[in-house]
Structure 1
Amino acid sequence: MLQSFDHVNVKTGRLEEMVAWYADILDLYAGWRPSFPFPGAWLYLGDHPYIHLVGMDTEPVSEDPKIEHYAFRATGKTAFLEKLAARGVVYQLSEVQDAGIVQVNIFDPDGNHIHIDFALNEAA
């Protein structure tokens, strides 16, 4: 029986840039990672590594893995939007009335779609 979501694994040819972006934009931090025989980083939210980056020597060839996006739930929408604007990160807002959320859609340096979900009734 499933208990919870564990992590997403992302290949990248820009390991250092991706680690820095996730730290700066999403406040995830690089933490402990097993000593795998290939480069990578585990990015933590609290005490759990939700993003596993795998470093590639070259940019991965798109094999269309069928993952359209991954998402986080958050609070502090105003501060987050201000951070995105200050760093020149382009975003799109989508209200999902039935779910009671506002999605802030962004893309990481490799073009992976991420949305950050805020309660619809949180101040803009």
Structure 2
Amino acid sequence: MPRLDHINIDVSDGARMVRFFAEVLGAEDGFRPPFDFPGHWIYVDGHPAIHLNVAPRANDFPRGMVNHVAFGVYGFEPTKARIEAAGWPYRITDIPDSEVGQFFVEGPEGLLLEVQFRRERPARG
């Protein structure tokens, strides 16, 4: 069965993007093979889920075919505290008729990161 292995993002400031994923997801910069171009592999739960290619450019890429990237977390309050402590702009939304809530966090270089969390399913009247 296929599974999503990783996302690959072109960035101009690798260190800033690494810090963003560490602050929001608790992810870690880890081993990356010695490719002939600069970059980072960001590990989520021990897996290199985010690959960053560092390529200088003057402006942010506009959002295009990929609107945003989403990860799931456990624990609303710890996640909210981590995002607020880091100072990244965010908003919270809910998926109607579900127990899923969402943080949408605005990251560096125009990246929009969705962080999903579970909450009690609303009672139906």
Quickly name the TM-score band, shorter chain normalised.
Answer: 0.7 to 0.9
Instruction: Tell me the distance in 2 between the aligned counterparts of 1:119 and 1:63.
Output: 30
Give the secondary structure class of the aligned counterpart of 2:83: helix
Partner of 1:20: 19
Residue 111 of structure 1 deviates from its aligned partner by 1.6
Partner of 1:34: 33
- 5 and 101 in structure 1: CA distance in 2 versus 1, 3 angstrom threshold: same
Q: Extract unaligned runs of 5+ from structure 2.
A: none
Partner of 1:85: 84
How many equivalent residue pairs? Answer: 121
Partner of 1:96: 95
- The answer (yes or no) to whether the contact 1:15–1:55 under 8 Å persists in 2 is yes
- What is the RMSD of the two structures over their aligned residues, measured on CA atoms? 1.9
- The answer (yes or no) to whether the contact 1:102–1:118 under 8 Å persists in 2 is yes
Partner of 1:58: 57
Decide which moves more: 51-60 or 66-75.
51-60
- Fraction of identical pairs, as percent: 27
Instruction: Tell me the distance in 2 between the aligned counterparts of 1:60 and 1:10.
Output: 15
Following TM superposition, the consecutive aligned residue runs of length 4 or more in structure 1 with deviations greater than 3 angstroms are none
Residue 39 of structure 1 deviates from its aligned partner by 0.3
| AA aligned opposite 2:45 | G
Give the secondary structure class of the aligned counterpart of 2:2: coil
Residue 99 of structure 1 deviates from its aligned partner by 3.7
| AA aligned opposite 1:19 | V
- The answer (yes or no) to whether the contact 2:6–2:49 under 8 Å persists in 1 is yes
Residue 54 of structure 1 deviates from its aligned partner by 0.3
